[in-house]
Amino acid sequence: MALCLFNSLQRRVEAFTPLFPEADAIGFYCCGPTVYDFGHIGNFRTFVFADLLRRYLEFRGHRVNHVMNITDVEDKIIRQVAATGLSLAEFTGKYTDAFLADLATLSCLKPHHLPKATDYIPQIIDLIERLEKRGIAYRAGDGSVYFSINKYRGCGCRYGQLVTLDPEAQRQTERVSGDSYDKDNLADFALWKARVPGDGVVFWESPWGEGRPGWHIECSAMSMALLGPSFDLHLGGEDLAFPHHEDEIAQSEGTGLQQGGRPFVKHWVHAAHLLVDGKKMSKSLGNFFTVRDLLNKGFQGREIRFLLISAHYRETFNFTLEGLEASRSALARLDSTVAQLMERAGAANPDNTLAPSSFEIAFTEALDDDLNVSKAWAVIFDWVRETNAALATGSLSPAAAAERLHAWRRVDGVMGLGARPQEEAPAEALALLEKRNAAKAARDFAQADAVRNELKALGWTVEDSKSGSKLKRL
């Protein structure tokens, strides 16, 4: 079975096939952050989903060329730069570094390319000039340059490939108010924005005068510069389908750079919204969380990641602190099984020539089905139950335990959970462990149970095995 994904362009689940089968790598683009603040968990649902898909493509044997842009110039950023007195690079650099740190905290692989919009001004200008020469872009009275939807349609092109809607009715959702600029048609969108007093020092020279790029053209320039005029996969949140991604298609294909009837992008994949406690995330409701907020509440990055990939990417997902607690419990169960396997395997090495295990096959079948993570988690925890039963009966040889560990590590290469961070027990807990072991040796089980409860109050539990007792963080 091949990997199948819901393609927003075709409105159906279809087999993923590379646009260029002979190419060295799959072209993979995900819309990245706008760096004017710390990223929130709604943003990171999309980024963790993108990481899951990249990891799974690599698991299936593909090489992936992963590009994620950094939007480091747009209206919110310009306002913040003016308010703080920092340079554009200083202001956006702070939040770019924070974003990359959060991405690492959630065990996301670093994209191969992290282009910043401000580094691609020449490429942006080149695309706009191409559109202007083809009669699809026009210069307005204020010096701004706009993309003409009517002229684009007049060339025989289709506007509305990802969504079926009235662009004039929907354009109000765009980041920049239509009242701020002089354009021929409400549906048209800005490619280049003429400098206004509020822009301060944030501007570039262009054939149309001083100004800055529109939001949509930035992604077209960066993606095509790094992946070519046609590539395989474009990801983002469902809120970006219109107008951002629709406009990307129009301006990219409007340049005429695609060859042989190929599209700008073959597969468009969108992740659904994330709710918090059943509501849209809002600071005023007190349900607005950044990754840093959750770490400060005592949660680990792997617990956040677990919860973010616990539901299908096309399902609206409800994120709660109770859900994070449940993720912690599920991970503890998984960690316990893996730890016991490691102890049983000892120095044994797996036979890497063996065919994939039934566990890996079932896991692959689940994710081939449009990344069905619910089915994949069921496969994983069935494996946990079966492994625990085999460990309990002592029927696993060291070699068999090593093979199970090898299978789990391959699966975890996709899920990206990693090992639980080792935490050194405090002296107080270690002293209690010695006290508990002494009570147990003296067969004073009441005392041993009382000490165990003291350890639990400190956040630790005791794991007994043939090799002795050790502390484990609850």
- Surface-to-core class of residue 422, CB atoms within 10 Å of its CB (0-12 exposed, 13-18 middle, 19+ buried): exposed
Instruction: Report angle CA 66, 253, 133 to the nearest 5 degrees.
Output: 125
Could you give phi then psi for residue 274, rounded to 5 degrees? -110, 130
Say what the pLDDT of residue 470 is. Answer: 80
Q: What is the pLDDT of residue 462?
A: 84
- The pLDDT value given to residue 166: 65
Per domain, the residue ranges of the chain are 7-271, 283-415, 427-473
Peptide bond before 356: cis, by omega within 30 degrees of 0? no
pTM, 2 dp: 0.89
At 341, give phi and psi (nearest 5°). Answer: -65, -40
Q: Name the token pair of 190.
A: 């800005």
Per CATH, which fold does 7-271 belong to?
Rossmann fold (3.40.50)
Residue 113's φ and ψ, nearest 5 degrees, are -135, 135
What secondary structure does DSSP assign to 193-219, as a single string? EE--GGGTT--B--TT-SEEE-HHHHH
Half-sphere exposure of 347 (CA within 13 A, CB side): 0
Name the one residue in this structure whose structure tokens are 């490939």.
161
Q: Per residue of the chain (474 residues), give pLDDT as tens.
A: 799 999 999 999 999 999 999 999 999 999 999 999 999 999 999 999 999 999 999 999 999 999 999 999 999 999 999 999 999 999 999 999 999 999 999 999 999 999 999 999 999 999 999 999 999 999 999 899 999 999 999 999 999 999 886 655 555 545 444 444 467 788 899 999 999 999 999 999 999 999 999 999 999 999 999 999 999 999 999 999 999 999 999 999 999 999 988 999 999 999 999 999 999 888 778 889 999 999 999 999 999 999 999 999 999 999 999 999 999 999 999 999 999 999 999 999 988 878 899 999 999 999 999 999 999 999 999 999 999 999 999 999 999 999 999 999 999 999 999 988 776 777 888 888 888 989 888 888 888 889 888 888 877 888 787 667 888 776
From the list 144, 122, 121, the residue with the least C-alpha distance to 72 is: 121
Cα angle value 397/400/403 (rounded, 5°): 150
Exposed, middle or buried: residue 163 (CB in 10 Å: 0-12, 13-18, 19+)? middle
Which pLDDT score, from 0 to 100, does residue 179 have? 42
CB atoms within 10 A of CB 432: 21
In angstroms, the first-to-last Cα distance of the chain is 40
Name the nearest CA neighbour of 215 among 51, 78, 37. 78
